[in-house]
Structure 1
Amino acid sequence: MTAAKQQTPPKKASNSYKPQSIVLTALDGYLLSGTVFLPPGPIVTSRSAFPSTSTSNGNSNLAGGATHKQEVEALTKVVIISSATATIQDFYYKFATYLSQELGMIVLTYDNRGIGRSLPGNESLQFLKAAADNGPLPTTGAQSPPLPPKSTSASNGSGSIGKINNKKGDKKKNPLVGFEATIVEWSTKDLPGVFNYVLQHFPDSPTLYVGHSVGGHILPGLDAYYTRNLERVFFVSVTSAHWRHMNSPLFTYWFFYMASPLVNRHYGYYPGKTLWGSMEDMPTGCLETWAFWGKHKDYMLGGNPEWKPNFELFKVPIYSIYFSDDDFSSTSAPIIMDLIPNTQRRCVGVKPIEDLNMKKVGHMGFFFNSCKQKLWNSVVRSWFVDGRALDIEAIREHAALEGSYARL
């Protein structure tokens, strides 16, 4: 199999390009921070933009099927990017910009509840929600209403930590202290809210999905109502965190079942920023879900067996890619794919040094700009634009060609 050929020369994002902040509503009413990346040029999101396929005398057009296919192909695709555990949506900024500005797709990123800008009590989300519900404020002929006084509660309106007054003086308090949330809610409440937003604003557009790590785990459990426009799925480093499947099982066991419960109890949340730097802070319940799933060989299905019927009914084609130098688990992606038995799927393991001539990719590195030439322009473009899931030979060939071009 040969490497994917670029159908059109890639476009460069404008230096002045800015995505749009939006607010998403989970099924239980919880407000989530989201971002929409719009492509350059015309955007077609409704079939009403096309002429009717019926003839002037009212009889159906025999070529209607072909016309319908052309209409669907002409619609602008929408991509949902679902983040890894304790990873903010901003981590995917460059990848989302690539999809929108160079592949011409509408892209939506978001923070799950308790992560990033989706903290409890974030007043900026409440104002965004009010603006969306009531329409834009008038720009002429009227004055904008005065802003309310600044809050002294847990959130200052921008997602950062506010100050709380007490008898001993002001001190910082993390808004996650006492906040109850689980990864199960990310799947059953947050993600359906994201799909609802897409279905409401782009009802006819084919939808694509990028699931990074837990972003892949939580997708197949959704009811088919939400995924009815879902065309293709792309998994990145969607591996099992069952402690025996991890690269360092004894460390994982210590982390999940000995150290983390003590840390959670001490802080009232999981301080990922403080302890690791590369992680975000998390609600205690989210880490507890992660650890609970990690006790089971079937991981998320072992922890939530009620999801199994939806996993078996999931029929959207999946292309999964994982890396041999993954810091967490470098071999277990096929195990996750086996839990979704009734869809077309391809699972490809990549060795960065041997296959790509790259020093490291790991669990997070696919979304670094360094992977653009050797992976985004081959794997992502082929799957999302051409509908072809490249095998490892094609990935190696494309990477070798890119390396040759770089030496010219």
Structure 2
Amino acid sequence: MAEAALDDVFADDVIVTAADRYPLGATLFLPRTGKRSHAVLINSATAVPRRVYRGFAGYLARRGCAVLTYDYRGTGDSRLKAVTGYNQPRSLVGFKASMADWAAKDVASAVQWMRERYGNMPLTYVGHSFGGQALGLLPNNKEISRALFIAAQAGYWKLMASPERYRVYAMLNFAGVPLTKLFGYMPGWAGLGMDLPKDAFLQWVSWVMKERYLFGDSTLDTRENFHNYKGPLRAICFTDDPWATRTAVELLCSGFTATRPDIVSISPKDIGVNKIGHMGFFRPEYRDTLWRGAAEWLQAE
């Protein structure tokens, strides 16, 4: 297990073994000193490696949290990490993993991993984009004390801002789908920046084309788990985010019928900047603004 110092935080690379024994590359962040008060699981957006969340994870650890970031199977270190005794796929051709698998196998296993190790603490959940969507699909989402969504939405393409909706439609259907069928996986150079397993990409495209996104997927039995989450839920969206528009965030939150989601819209001018967008929240310059408010809400319990 590799250890890297992050100022006053321990950042250790670990392996989270999913329920089907698949090894997930992960990093555990722990405060070097002081009492640990909360456990936090950070769940990635589609095609976003866990390293993007390193700064925010370290910030939460400095505030007394045990924080885990990880990569979904077939992505990041959960594709390339060399693990003794396991055959990790160098090529994604023939690699079986859907977005539903990411939720049911990977996210659910990460929840269980944190619950087993930090059972004496509240377990809180941060979901970025798909990471927020996944909460509703988890069979064990009752284990979560409170959940914070960052730009998490029901990603129907017509709910995206114009003209981005048309770019996304064209990229997915006229480039992504044909290339995925040709190569046997979605090559990152085609627009996403990271290779994706074929089934994950094609399932995502099918959701994006549905008016109710994943809620319109009749084959997705785990949709029923949305009704099981009863903890506090705050969903943050940004007025300049063309993907997670307020309407798209509201649609995702409507699935959580056993709680009353608090949807918070933030414009860049609210914090004195020009742009935040879909990814901006996790930039370190927001340590004293967006990060502080998010951390205070997560640790309110």
TM-score by length of 1: 0.67
Give, in angstroms, the shift of residue 209 of structure 1. Answer: 0.4
Runs of at least 5 residues in structure 2 that lack an aligned partner in the other structure: none
Q: Tell me the residue number matched to 1:237.
A: 151
Deviations 1:99-125 (A, max 9, x none): 001x110000000001100017x4x33
Percent of paired sites with the same residue: 30
| 1:21 is aligned to 2:13 | yes
| 1:367 is aligned to 2:285 | no
Q: Tell me the residue number matched to 1:119.
A: 79
TM-score by length of 2: 0.90
Task: Name whichever of 83-92 and 16-25 sits farther off.
Answer: 16-25
Letter in 2 for 1:373: D
Q: Tell me the residue number matched to 2:67.
A: 107
Give, in angstroms, the shift of residue 301 of structure 1. Answer: 1.7
Letter in 2 for 1:106: A
* Cα distance in structure 1, aligned partners of 2:220 and 2:255: 11
* Cα distance in structure 2, aligned partners of 1:86 and 1:214: 10
Q: Tell me the residue number matched to 1:39.
A: 31
* Cα distance in structure 1, aligned partners of 2:295 and 2:113: 25
| 1:255 is aligned to 2:176 | no
Q: Tell me the residue number matched to 1:265.
A: 181
Does the residue aligned with 1:265 lie in a helix, a strand or coil? helix
Higher-Rg structure is 1
| Larger fraction in strand | 2
| 1:322 is aligned to 2:237 | yes
Give, in angstroms, the shift of residue 214 of structure 1. Answer: 0.1
* Cα distance in structure 2, aligned partners of 1:374 and 1:227: 29
Q: Choose from 53, 58, 79 the match for 2:40.
A: 79
* Cα distance in structure 2, aligned partners of 1:154 and 1:214: 23
In the TM superposition, what are the counterparts of 1:7-406 in structure 2 within 5 Å? 15=7, 17-43=9-35, 76-101=37-62, 103-119=63-79, 122=81, 124-126=82-84, 174-223=90-139, 226-247=140-161, 248-272=164-188, 274-276=189-191, 279-303=193-217, 304-331=219-246, 332-353=248-269, 355-377=270-292, 379-387=293-301
* Cα distance in structure 2, aligned partners of 1:222 and 1:320: 18
* Cα distance in structure 2, aligned partners of 1:242 and 1:15: 41
* Cα distance in structure 1, aligned partners of 2:83 and 2:165: 40
| Paired residues of 1:187 and 1:222 also in contact (CA < 8 A) | yes
* Cα distance in structure 2, aligned partners of 1:321 and 1:337: 11
Give, in angstroms, the shift of residue 17 of structure 1. Answer: 4.4
> CA RMSD of the aligned region, Å?
2.2
Runs of at least 5 residues in structure 1 that lack an aligned partner in the other structure: 1-12, 45-75, 130-152, 156-173, 388-408
Equivalent residues, number: 293
* Cα distance in structure 2, aligned partners of 1:386 and 1:200: 22
